[in-house]
């Protein structure tokens, strides 16, 4: 019999649950019964049976029984029918949806089964509940948890297009389901304990503790899920590369008055759109009417008041998008921005889209792919507000496509609401005329906003001029009446009035015959003051500033514009006397504005912008800016600047610092990023027929630039161009438009990074006050964290910290990540190519059903091991894992004597070690029980097990007395060395737990386990070792190499990245030279080191070390990679080949006499002696390379002496340097690189050279 007093807990839980439900769904649940659930289950069975899709719905029965018992015990306290129906209702609802998607039905039934396991058997506690009313709190919490589960499950299934998101959504659901199950289990344990008869206080205390534990677990799970979402989101962003929509929004917000545009939220037309009465709203008005400002107000409101389950996305179309986005269409940029915003707001969508593409490899290279993904993403939202501004500014041929696509999407997606803003034109009039609209030209409230703005600025003018109050009203009325709905008109006119020098001039400007009556007239007033009433010099400066603002490809800082004035590129000098002391606002008046919050119009870091796009049109139309001449000027400047002496190869570090101190590198960021865009502008606009001299200038400059920075093989066709027309056609045909691909043809990114690293060494504190002022005014902050990739938005800075910068660059260089989030290598570090990722997945992420035998390498049974005559029958049986045969053999007399006898080609092979190496634990135990010595053969058994990753055998052996630090000989490997070398993580963990010496140097060469792991690039092992207390990370081997040095020599880029990020490893130990010795396998390592503070290590020895890899066979791929490595080293600008002869000392050629001796040795070499001694073998190994190296070293010396060329040819013949054409071609390429080095000085007379080292 239910008691009359209804506990609050049941009601509170149900009220909370109903609050999150659609009212119609709540009503549906309130009348649902168990019978309804059973009927639906039977229906599903009958539907799925004939199709062969039965999913064993009997799995639901334990849950039904558990809920029935829950209802029975709830009856002790209240009327259960009022509450249990809200359990049966969701069950029926969820089954009805899941039946159409078999995987989701399976997972749902599994979840109900887990709940049943955690809550079963409640019926037997009914008497306990009756006799102990405090236990009602347990039931209340049970009921609340079940409703919580249903609420979370309904969220998964109620989303539009839920089947697309199900896999991703259910994974996140599982992270929330875990704490619910944990709470259910804890409450069950409470009931089963002796506390069932405890006091109310004790029960409440225990339940509160359970609840807090559940909340904490849920909080941790949520935090982990959020972190994973951020990681995946950033990976997608790198591939998606959306335009910077957020920056556009923030810049408009900075200029907006707080109260501006608030009137729109009371508009009936807007409210109808917001509440889905109409799903498209078109806002239009004249250019400069304030549409963008109004849209920013709407966007902020939508974002600030966005409820759960609602998404908001926006985009501002602009005539030009910064950076590489200029090569993409408006539609493409829109799709990228929308997709990223939807991903940003929805973790399920993030996971779903990455999974769709397989292991995070998104192929977002076509508008069709993007369009499909956006359509799918939009369809997953109940409500999505989409706000687009500047339709009239998108590319004309795309405006119609965008509008038609949006209108079609609105028709098919019920929850989508689109607001479009733009100037009326033929396209919008035809496509949007039937849609609800708001016209800013006629909106009374909008005009009121303009009037308020006019009154505010008019008051500032009155105060500045100390005028009568009536002047304020006159100005406000004149301007607001003339605005006719155009905020821009009001802004330009008011700023023009504010700039007048006296009251008399001000009053003159207010006269009817003078006062402008439209925006064109307002611009003419500004134009008159800037270009007609100013001094000639000021006019010229203003024109140049405006030309830079209009002609450049991104927003410029004021210091960058100043640098254009001060830098003399042809001479490689800075003329600071040209620095402009007048602020840009005073010079250019209302044509310009600043994105800076503090508008003093003179800050070096101010970003300078046009007041509006209409100003650009006005200035070009009135010939104040000649855009074609400016394009030519900027292109020529980029080439002259980047090939000027301060950028030349071989420029010394001292010279770099001297130029940097003067601010010469102030425009490096801009020119490196946009030289190609300006060249393309010239190609498109210059007419070779009418602009012959200009074309020839660009042609000559481009060739010098390409010769200086280009990969000669890749830009060969460009360098062969004989005319401007040839060059223009070849550029369009051969050079990729996207910066990422184009930069692979050049060394410009490495040279840029090299200069940046040198500039970072400036001691700013040691500058004089004047030097600091010059540096800040031109170059900007010394510490600026910039991306090293010219195609990236962050190339000019804004990465906030060195850690952020490194993380950002890693995402560029290692963008391919595997899907296993706990994988140290694949997910956390990543790979540079997709092939590397696939190789990693194949090696490390085998399918779950594969057994451990396939995870680890099998023991290598080579011919020298298998079938050896010394092997006994016992050894064969141990190796095969035939335990029955081993037992039989051990029963024979004399067999036990063979237990400790070697049975293979070395002392490593004993019956026990064979069994251990093959992972036969039972046989190992059997052999030891019959007397086999566990440490026989210097620990061969544990070493074999460790080397081949036999974890269970290692556990058994170490538990039975195996020595974890034993080695076969004084300089032999320990088990930990072997496991670390092979990459067996769990074995390494076990050995360290059992006392293995992590710093052991017993191994050959005095290397530690960290050395071996680093050399092999075993990231998991390196991670494990670096986290051990007492690890010696910088210990040197007997050959004076640290673990980092061994990783560099082996080309283990990932290992070096990990060591650097740990902060425990000294990376300043000459890593680059060691990496150079590993070509061709270490190209990625060389590139990584050059981009990470190792540029200063580049010297001639690095080049010769690379060249030593050339052998007599010279496969093409090796030759190509040797050339690429040399190119990268030269690109740093560090190499100064002052004396070619002295370089011979690196190979031992210290004199003419010794050189001839080597030549003689080469000619008289005998095949018979090749194999007689290790020393002779090594000498032959060196001599195989001498023709190539001698030729390279000798060629420049004789090349400089024209009369001595025949002597050089005789030398070739004398030495017998018969080289194939491929080698000759590579020699010629290398010689060209040397000759291109401006700092090269080749002397005629050979000096006496002693010792080694860099030449002076």
pLDDT tens figures, 98-111: 887 777 788 888 88
Most confident of 240-244, 590-594, 1088-1092, 1114-1118: 590-594
Bridge partners for 387 per DSSP? 314, 419
**How many C-alpha atoms does 33 have within 13 Å on its Cβ side?**
3
Q: Where are the alpha helices (DSSP H) in 961-1018?
A: 975-982, 985-993, 1009-1016
Residue 1203 has pLDDT above 60, yes or no: no
Instruction: Name, of 51-65, 227-241, 802-816, 1071-1085, the range with top average pLDDT.
Output: 1071-1085
Percent of the residues in the chain that have a pLDDT greater than 70, as a whole number:
71
Higher-pLDDT residue of 812 and 193 is 812
| pLDDT bucket at 188, cuts 50 / 70 / 90 | low
Contact 410, 419 (CB under 8 A): no
User: What is the signed CA dihedral for 722, 728, 730, 736, rounded to 10 degrees?
Assistant: 150
DSSP letter (8 states) at residue 13: H
Residue 1112 token pair: 């007599």
pLDDT for res 562: 96
**Least confident residue range of 12-21, 392-401, 683-692, 1173-1182:** 1173-1182
pLDDT for the residue numbered 980: 93
Return the structure tokens found at 212. Answer: 């807090």
pLDDT of 1247 strictly over 50: no
Asked if the model's pLDDT at residue 855 lies above 60, the reply is no
Q: Is the pLDDT of residue 617 over 90?
A: yes
The per-residue pLDDT of the chain, averaged, comes to 77
Predicted local distance difference test score (pLDDT) of residue 1254: 31
The answer, yes or no, to whether residue 354 has pLDDT greater than 80, is no
Mean pLDDT (whole number) for 760-778: 88
- Residue tagged 């019959």 (tokens): 930
| Mean pLDDT in residue range 919-939 | 86
**H or E segment to which residue 418 belongs:** strand 416-422
Whole-number pLDDT of residue 829: 63
Give first-to-last CA distance, the chain, whole Å.
103
**pLDDT the model gives residue 119:** 78
Q: Is 579 left (phi over 0), alpha (psi -120 to 50) or beta?
A: beta
pLDDT at 249 over 80: yes
Cβ–Cβ under 8 Å, residues 384 and 378 = yes
Mean pLDDT comparison of 352-356, 845-849, 958-962, highest-scoring range: 958-962
- Out of 436-440, 807-811, 1154-1158, the most confident range is 436-440
Q: What is the pLDDT of residues 372-402, one digit of tens each?
A: 889 888 888 889 999 999 888 876 678 889 9
Higher per-residue pLDDT: 295 or 187: 295
pLDDT of residue 316: 93
| Phi, psi torsion values for 283, nearest 5 degrees | -105, 125
Provide the pairing of β-strand 310-316 with 280-284. unpaired
CA 928, CA 931: separation in Å to the nearest integer?
A: 5
Based on its alpha-carbon atoms, the radius of gyration of the chain, rounded to whole angstroms, reads 39
CB 361 within 8 A of CB 816: yes
Out of 322-336, 978-992, 1054-1068, least confident range: 322-336
Q: What is the DSSP letter of 831?
A: B
For the residues 435-442, what does the mean pLDDT come to?
92
Cα–Cα distances in Å, from 800 out to 560, 808, 917?
Answer: 21, 11, 52
- For 990-999, what is each residue's pLDDT tens digit? 999 888 999 9
Work out the pLDDT band at 839, boundaries 50, 70, 90.
low
pLDDT in tens, 773-808: 999 999 988 777 888 888 888 888 888 787 778 777
List the Cα angle 584/524/511 in 5-degree steps: 110
Tens of pLDDT, residue by residue over 689-699, are 666 688 888 88
All domains of the chain in start order, with CATH: 8-235 (no CATH), 241-442 (3.40.50.300), 446-517 (no CATH), 627-767 (no CATH), 846-955 (1.25.40.20), 964-1069 (1.25.40.20), 1136-1236 (no CATH)
The pLDDT value given to residue 811: 72
The pLDDT confidence band at residue 1073, using thresholds 50, 70 and 90, is confident
CA distances from 768 to 655, 659, 887, 911 (A): 18, 16, 88, 78
Question: Residue 695, Cα to own-chain centre: how many angstroms?
Answer: 40
Residue 666: pLDDT band with limits 50, 70, 90: very high
Higher pLDDT, 1085 or 1179: 1085
> Which two structure tokens, joined as six digits, stand for 103?
């995987």
Nearest to 1129 by CA among 1081, 1080, 1185, 1073: 1073
Report how far apart, in Å, the C-alpha atoms of 451 and of each of 466, 478, 491, 526, 914 are: 22, 10, 11, 22, 93
What are the tens digits of pLDDT across the range 448-500? 999 999 999 999 999 999 988 899 999 999 999 999 889 999 999 999 999 89
From the centroid of its chain, how far is CA 889?
Answer: 61
């Amino acid at each position: 019999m239910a008691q009359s007093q209804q506990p609050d807990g049941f009601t509170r839980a149900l009220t909370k649950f109903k609050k999150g439900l659609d009212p119609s769904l709540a009503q549906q649940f309130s009348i649902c019964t168990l019978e309804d659930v059973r009927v639906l289950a039977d229906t599903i069975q009958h539907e799925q049976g004939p199709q062969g899709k039965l999913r064993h719905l009997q799995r639901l029965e334990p849950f039904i029984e558990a809920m029935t018992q829950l209802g029975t015990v709830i009856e002790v306290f209240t009327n259960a029918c009022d509450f249990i129906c809200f359990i049966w209702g969701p069950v029926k609802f969820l089954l009805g949806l899941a039946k159409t998607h078999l995987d989701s039905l399976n997972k749902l039934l599994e979840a109900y089964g887990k709940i049943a396991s955690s809550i079963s058997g409640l019926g037997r506690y009914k008497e306990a509940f009756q006799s102990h009313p405090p236990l009602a709190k347990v039931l209340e919490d049970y009921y609340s948890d079940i409703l919580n589960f249903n609420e979370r499950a309904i969220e998964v299934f109620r989303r539009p297009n839920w089947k697309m998101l199900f896999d991703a959504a259910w994974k996140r659901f599982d992270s929330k389901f875990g704490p619910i199950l944990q709470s259910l289990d804890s409450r069950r344990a409470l009931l089963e304990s002796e506390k069932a008869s405890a006091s109310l206080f004790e029960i409440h205390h225990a339940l509160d503790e359970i609840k807090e534990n559940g909340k904490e677990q849920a909080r941790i799970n949520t935090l982990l899920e959020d972190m994973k979402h951020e990681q995946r989101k950033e990976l997608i962003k790198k591939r998606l590369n959306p335009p910077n929509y957020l920056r556009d929004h923030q810049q408009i917000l900075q200029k907006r008055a707080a109260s501006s545009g608030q009137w729109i939220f009371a508009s009936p037309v807007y409210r109808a759109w917001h509440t889905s009465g109409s799903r498209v709203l078109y806002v239009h008005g004249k250019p400069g009417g304030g549409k963008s400002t109004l849209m920013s107000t709407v966007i902020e409101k939508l974002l600030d008041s966005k409820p759960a389950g609602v998404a908001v996305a926006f985009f501002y179309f602009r005539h030009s998008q910064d950076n590489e986005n200029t090569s993409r269409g408006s539609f493409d940029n829109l799709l990228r921005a929308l997709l990223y915003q939807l991903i940003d707001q929805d973790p399920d969508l993030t996971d779903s889209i990455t999974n769709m593409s397989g292991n995070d490899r998104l192929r977002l290279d076509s508008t069709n792919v993007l369009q499909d993904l956006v359509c799918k993403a939009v369809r997953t939202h109940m409500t999505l507000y989409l706000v687009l501004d500047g339709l009239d500014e998108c590319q004309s041929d795309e405006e119609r496509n965008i509008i038609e696509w949006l209108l079609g999407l609105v028709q098919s997606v019920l929850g989508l609401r689109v607001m479009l803003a733009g100037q009326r034109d033929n396209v919008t009039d035809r496509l949007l005329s039937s849609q609800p609209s708001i016209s800013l030209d006629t909106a009374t409230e909008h005009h009121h906003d303009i009037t308020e703005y006019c009154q505010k600025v008019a008051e500032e003018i009155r105060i500045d001029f100390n005028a009568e109050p009536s002047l304020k009203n006159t100005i406000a009325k004149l301007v607001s009446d003339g605005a006719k709905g155009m905020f821009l008109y009001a802004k330009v006119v008011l700023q023009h009035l504010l700039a007048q020098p006296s009251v008399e001039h001000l009053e003159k400007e207010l006269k009817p015959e003078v006062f402008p009556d439209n925006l064109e007239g307002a611009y003419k007033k500004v134009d008159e003051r800037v270009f007609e009433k100013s001094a000639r010099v000021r006019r010229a400066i203003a024109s140049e500033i405006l030309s830079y603002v209009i002609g450049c490809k991104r927003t410029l800082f004021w210091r960058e514009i100043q640098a254009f004035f001060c830098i003399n590129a042809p001479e490689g000098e800075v003329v600071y006397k040209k620095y402009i002391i007048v602020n840009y606002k005073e010079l250019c008046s209302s044509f310009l504005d600043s994105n800076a919050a503090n508008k003093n119009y003179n800050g070096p870091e101010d970003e300078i912008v046009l007041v509006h796009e209409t100003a650009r049109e006005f200035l070009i139309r009135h010939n104040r800016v000649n855009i074609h001449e400016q394009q030519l000027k900027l292109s020529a400047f980029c080439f002259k600047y980047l090939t000027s002496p301060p950028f030349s190869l071989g420029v010394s570090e001292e010279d770099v610092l001297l130029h940097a101190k003067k601010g010469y590198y102030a425009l490096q960021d801009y020119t490196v990023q946009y030289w190609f865009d300006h060249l393309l502008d010239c190609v498109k606009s210059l007419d070779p027929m009418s602009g012959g001299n200009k074309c020839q200038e660009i042609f000559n400059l481009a060739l010098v630039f390409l010769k200086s920075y280009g990969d000669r093989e890749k830009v060969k066709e460009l360098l062969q161009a004989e005319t401007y027309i040839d060059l223009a056609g070849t550029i369009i045909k051969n050079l990729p438009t996207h910066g990422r691909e184009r930069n692979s043809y050049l060394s410009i990114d490495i040279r840029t990074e090299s200069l940046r690293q040198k500039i970072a060494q400036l001691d700013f504190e040691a500058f004089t006050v004047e030097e600091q002022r010059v540096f800040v005014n031109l170059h900007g902050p010394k510490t600026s964290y910039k991306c090293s990739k010219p195609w990236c938005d962050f190339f000019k800075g804004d990465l906030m910290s060195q850690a952020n910068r490194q993380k950002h660059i890693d995402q560029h260089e290692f963008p391919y990540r595997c899907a296993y989030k706990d994988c140290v290598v694949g997910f956390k570090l990543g790979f540079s190519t997709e092939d590397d990722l696939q190789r990693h997945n194949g090696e490390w992420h085998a399918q779950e059903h594969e057994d451990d035998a396939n995870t680890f390498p099998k023991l290598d049974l080579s011919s020298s091991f298998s079938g050896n005559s010394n092997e006994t029958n016992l050894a064969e049986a141990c190796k095969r894992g035939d335990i029955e045969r081993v037992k039989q053999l051990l029963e024979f007399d004399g067999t036990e004597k063979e237990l400790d006898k070697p049975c293979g080609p070395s002392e490593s092979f004993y019956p026990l070690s064979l069994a251990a190496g093959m992972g036969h634990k039972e046989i190992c135990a059997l052999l030891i029980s019959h007397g086999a010595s566990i440490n026989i053969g210097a620990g061969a058994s544990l070493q074999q097990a460790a080397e081949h990753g036999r974890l269970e055998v290692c556990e058994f052996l170490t538990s039975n007395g195996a020595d974890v630090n034993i080695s076969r000989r004084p300089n032999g490997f320990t088990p930990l060395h072997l496991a670390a070398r092979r990459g067996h993580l769990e074995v390494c963990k076990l050995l360290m737990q059992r006392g293995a010496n992590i710093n052991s140097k017993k191994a050959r060469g005095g290397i530690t386990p960290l050395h071996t792991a680093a050399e092999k690039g075993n990231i998991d092992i390196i991670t494990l070792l670096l986290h051990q207390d007492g690890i010696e990370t910088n210990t040197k081997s007997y050959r004076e190499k640290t673990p980092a040095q061994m990783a560099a020599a082996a080309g283990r880029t990932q290992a070096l990245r990990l060591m650097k990020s740990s902060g425990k490893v000294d990376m300043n130990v000459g890593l680059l030279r060691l990496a150079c010795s590993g070509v061709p396998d270490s190209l990625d390592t060389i590139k990584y080191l050059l981009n990470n503070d190792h540029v200063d290590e580049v010297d001639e020895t690095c080049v010769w070390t690379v060249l030593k890899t050339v052998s007599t066979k010279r496969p093409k791929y090796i030759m190509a990679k040797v050339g690429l490595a040399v190119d990268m080293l030269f690109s740093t600008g560090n190499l100064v080949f002052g004396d070619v002869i002295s370089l011979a000392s690196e190979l031992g050629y210290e004199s003419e006499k010794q050189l001839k001796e080597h030549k003689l040795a080469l000619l008289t070499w005998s095949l018979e002696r090749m194999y007689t001694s290790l020393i002779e073998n090594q000498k032959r190994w060196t001599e195989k390379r001498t023709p190539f190296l001698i030729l390279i070293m000798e060629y420049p010396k004789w090349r400089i002496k024209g009369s001595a060329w025949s002597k050089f040819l005789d030398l070739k013949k004398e030495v017998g340097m018969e080289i194939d054409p491929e080698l000759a071609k590579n020699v010629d390429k290398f010689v060209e690189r040397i000759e291109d080095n401006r700092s090269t000085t080749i002397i005629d007379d050979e000096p006496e050279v002693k010792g080694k080292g860099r030449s002076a």
